Amino acid sequence: MITSIELGDFLAHSETKLEFENGVTVFVGENGAGKSSIIDAITFALFGEHTRKSNKGLIKRGSNQGFSKVNFSVNGKKFEAARKVDSKGTLSAKFSELVDGETVEIAAGERKQFGESMTHEVEKTIGLDFEKLKIASIVQQGELNAIINAKPKEFKELLNAIIGIDKLDVASESMKIVNKEFRENIREKIGYDDTHIEILARDLETNKKEVEESKPQKDQLERKQETLQNEVENLRKKVETDTPKIDKINQLELRKKELLAYAKEAIHEIQREISENERKIHECQDCFEHASLKGDLETKIQKIDQAIEDSLKKIQEMTSQTASLREKQILASKLQLKDGKCPVCDSNVEKLNPLFQEEHLKQELVSLKEQIGLKEKERDMYNQKKKEFSNKLQNARDAEATLRAHSVNNKEELTQIQKEIETKKQKIPLNVNGNLLEISQIDSHAKMIFENISKLENDTKGFDEQEFNQLKNQVVQKQSELSHIDQQIGAILQKISKGEEQIKTLQNAILELNVVKDYVVSLDKIQTNVFSRDGPVATSLRSWALNTISAKASEYLTLLNTKIQRILLSEKTRDISITCYSKKEVLELESLSGGEKVSVALALRLGMASLLGASNLNLMILDEPTTHLDAERKKSLVGVLSQLSNISNSETPMQFLIITHDAEIFEDSTVERIYKFESTEQGSKVTAL
């Protein structure tokens, strides 16, 4: 049972703590006062689950964090589960056992990767997970009323959902998926599934027929192939015999072209040599005469150079004398006798030295000028002679260089070259494209090529190239026919091989698919018999569940003050019927009073909870059970709830939490504890009544 709940900034609660005992505890208050928050507080503390959109939605507005703490006892042991969440969504959790006033931690957080899970430890302790707790211990708004007013078919669906038979639909769909995926795997593996067996059988027969029809065609083509191969072989032998001749003919043409090409090149070379020698004769024939004058010219030039040098010296001497006389002339003009006396010493002088006589000096200067003129003419004459001899000397030297360049030493060598020119002119044939025999006389190499041509002409004598080409065309034609037949045989062999391979593949596939078909049939049977909600397994499970619920509900009814002694749930084709029994008679559900119907519904709900294993926590929460009930039925419900203490005091005591906004219906009740919830500006306010 739950012993206390503590909330801090959790949903509408700022700071709320509730104490609980066995029996019935009622939460009353207007809508929005925070009553249903207690359910979220319990499931969040135990399992980290709730009905809000996110964990942050659990935090009271204006707060940074919120927490929920639940203390409960199981089989005499006390436990505490607490979880906290902050505005960032960070969670912290702790599950502990309370031993002699000390807190012993069992698990903290949800670090499943390290093998730590508080939720897992809570589930082990309580014996239920969140989903089972919702079904076994929490009756949401309208569920109790639905049990009371449900039609037989709707009650069957509700029962299926509560005891989990509806999960068979999920299992059935899973089986369909398994079946589909199995077929897909088979198709991926071998390309087919069991639905293709008949198609594959037809394909198998078609392939067998095609293989049988192809074998005679193959034999006929192979015989034709053998005949053609023999014909091609005989033709090839003839071609091989004559092929060297066609090669020799080709060589013959090449050799003729080679001889003509060589003859043209050789003639061109002879003509070039003749031209070169003629040019040599032309350039050298007058060189001997010029070259013979070289020594005499060099001697004459040396003598002229000496004469020019002597003339230059004589001119220089007379030029110096002229300069001296001009100086003396200037002095003589100043040394004139005056009254027969010397103008310098004033002594008597009968006559002046001719060197100081101005007239004499003038005559001397004129004479020297004439002599210098003669000497310059003489020098010019020598220079002219030197130029003339230098040109002749250069011609002599050029002639000597020409002879040396052509390696000609004397006139006899020129005569020999002239004879060679005549001989080479005689070797040039009159028509280069004419008689090969005449061309072969050019030189030894031309003669060798001509001999090779003669041998090839002798080897190919009588060969008909046209007949040889026709023979080759026959080989090509036959070979083409043979190739076409080879392709036909290859295609048929491939067809036979592919057909036989396909036959083997189809046979193996059919064998495997027959096994697959048997397996799929078994899966279909399992789906029909085991996972169908109306199959034998579901029917048997529902029958066991109905008997168990009927027995437990009857036990709970004996603790309530009604005339109903026993309830029997039975399944028909499409629905479940509820039959009530008193000590003496069968009671129709429609004939029961409002209080009796609520008692039946509550007993059935407790029976269902017992079926699901709610014994560890022994808790049941009824959220707004008065919804959609009229005043009379609400009063009847209060009467039934007041009697729940009988159940609480039984051998397996139950704890009931009733959430309702109809506070007035509990004013005169005998319920053990009532908490009043009110909405204030600070949050939910809870007061014990």
In this structure, are residues 282 and 408 in contact, taking their beta carbons and an 8 Å threshold?
no
> Which residues, 6 or more positions from 648, have their beta carbon under 8 angstroms from its beta carbon?
22, 23, 24, 654, 655, 656
- Cβ–Cβ < 8 Å for 657, 620: yes
Residues 6+ away with beta carbon under 8 Å from 683: 12, 13, 14, 34, 60
Residue by residue, DSSP assigns 48-115 as S--SSSSGGGGBPTT-SEEEEEEEEEETTEEEEEEEEEETT--EEEEEEEEETTEEEEEEES--GGGT
Closest CA to 643 of 585, 560, 571, 565: 560
CB atoms within 10 A of CB 197: 16
Residue 645: in which H helix or E strand, if any? helix 644-648
- Residue 329 in tokens: 């002339």
Q: What does the pLDDT read at residue 579?
A: 87
pLDDT tens by residue, 566-588: 888 888 766 778 889 988 899 88
pLDDT digits (tens, 9 = 90+) for 434-445: 677 777 777 788
Range with the largest mean pLDDT of 76-85, 163-172, 422-431: 76-85
Q: Quick: pLDDT tens for 116-157.
A: 789 999 988 887 788 877 776 788 776 666 666 667 676 677
The Cα–Cα gap between 398 and 259 comes to 43
Residue 279 reports pLDDT greater than 60:
yes
- pLDDT at position 97 is 94
| β-pair partners for 578 | 569
CA distance 563 to 561: 7
State whether the Cα torsion 566-571-572-574 is positive or negative: positive
Q: Residue 570 contacts by C-beta under 8 Å, 6 or more apart in sequence?
A: 546, 576, 577, 579
Domain ranges in the chain?
2-172+539-688
Q: 676 pLDDT band (50/70/90 cuts)? A: very high
What was the pLDDT predicted at 162? 63
- The pLDDT assigned to 27 comes to 92
* Interval 603-632: pLDDT, tens: 887 787 777 654 567 788 888 877 766 677
Mean pLDDT, range 533-542, rounded to an integer? 78
Pick from 611, 620, 578, 623: which is nearest to 596 by CA? 578
Average pLDDT value for the chain: 82
pLDDT score of 348: 65
C-alpha pair distances (Å), 687 with each of 19, 281, 406, 623:
11, 151, 145, 19
How far apart are the two ends of the chain, measured CA to CA in Å?
21
Residue 81 clears pLDDT 90, i.e. is over it: yes
- CA 370 centroid distance within chain: 114
Contacts of 497 (CB under 8 A, 6+ apart): none
Sign of CA dihedral 258, 260, 266, 269: negative
pLDDT in tens, 639-673: 766 666 556 555 566 788 889 887 777 776 767 68
Give the C-alpha separation, 512 to 506, whole Å: 10
pLDDT at 393: 86
The H-or-E segment that residue 29 falls in is: strand 23-29
41 vs 50: CA distance, rounded Å: 8
Confidence of residue 404 (pLDDT cuts 50, 70, 90): confident
Compute the CA torsion angle 391, 395, 396, 398 (nearest 10 deg): 130
Say yes or no to pLDDT of 79 above 90: yes
Tokens coding 131: 């989903």
Contact 640, 606 (CB under 8 A): no
* pLDDT tops 80 at residue 109: yes
- How does residue 446 score in pLDDT terms, banded at 50, 70 and 90? confident
Q: Is the pLDDT of residue 212 over 80?
A: yes
The neighbour count for residue 476, using CB atoms within 10 Å, is: 11
Q: Which pair of structure tokens corresponds to residue 651?
A: 């051998």
Burial of residue 49 (number of CB atoms within 10 Å: 0-12, 13-18, 19+): middle
Residue 252 is predicted with a pLDDT of 82
- Is the distance from CB of 110 to CB of 117 less than 8 angstroms? yes
Say if pTM beats, i.e. exceeds, 0.85.
no
Give the count of beta carbons closer than 10 Å to the beta carbon of residue 96: 19
Taking alpha carbons only, the member of 594, 640, 635 closest to residue 149 is: 594
Fold (CATH) for 2-172+539-688: Rossmann fold (3.40.50)
